[in-house]
Amino acid sequence: MPETNVRAATPAAHRSPRALCLENLTRNLMNYFVALGPLRGHVFTLRDINLQVMMNVFAPKERAMLDVVLARLVAEGDLSPVSEPGYVLTDQGLNRVRLLTRARWSVSNAGRPVHHEQ
């Protein structure tokens, strides 16, 4: 039976606290982009992003990881740096934001017909 319990454990149980923090910060940053909508060409400055992150309750150590999250989103192709403090969503990032928006809309309208833009 112990083997069954190990298999039933969530994947998060095997991640380091740092990895979980980075995942949480990434999710919050993507939620910020979703809240603003998929804006092509909109420059998100580091100041804007910092203000959004500061609005959430993060420990200073977590906020210090923002550079790592931004670098990861750039490496994954969701963001592109356009200036020292500025980033834009790439086409891939815009698509990711659209998918997250649709997923939220679908969940919030559970039980009702779902309309997806083409």
Cα-Cα-Cα-Cα torsion 30, 34, 40, 43, nearest 10 degrees, comes to: -60
The per-residue pLDDT for 82 is 92
How many Å apart are CA 25 and CA 101, to the nearest integer?
18
**Eight-class DSSP state of 87:** E
Pairwise CA distance, residues 103 & 113, whole Å: 13
- Cα–Cα distance between 79 and 108 in angstroms, integer? 27
pLDDT tens-digit readout, 11-64: 556 789 889 989 988 888 888 888 887 778 888 887 777 776 666 666 777 778
pLDDT in tens, 96-108: 999 988 887 765 5
pTM above 0.95, yes or no: no
Take residue 54 and report the two structure tokens written for it.
């500061």
Is there a contact between 89 and 30 (Cβ–Cβ < 8 Å)? no
Domains of the chain by start residue, with CATH: 15-105 (1.10.10.10)
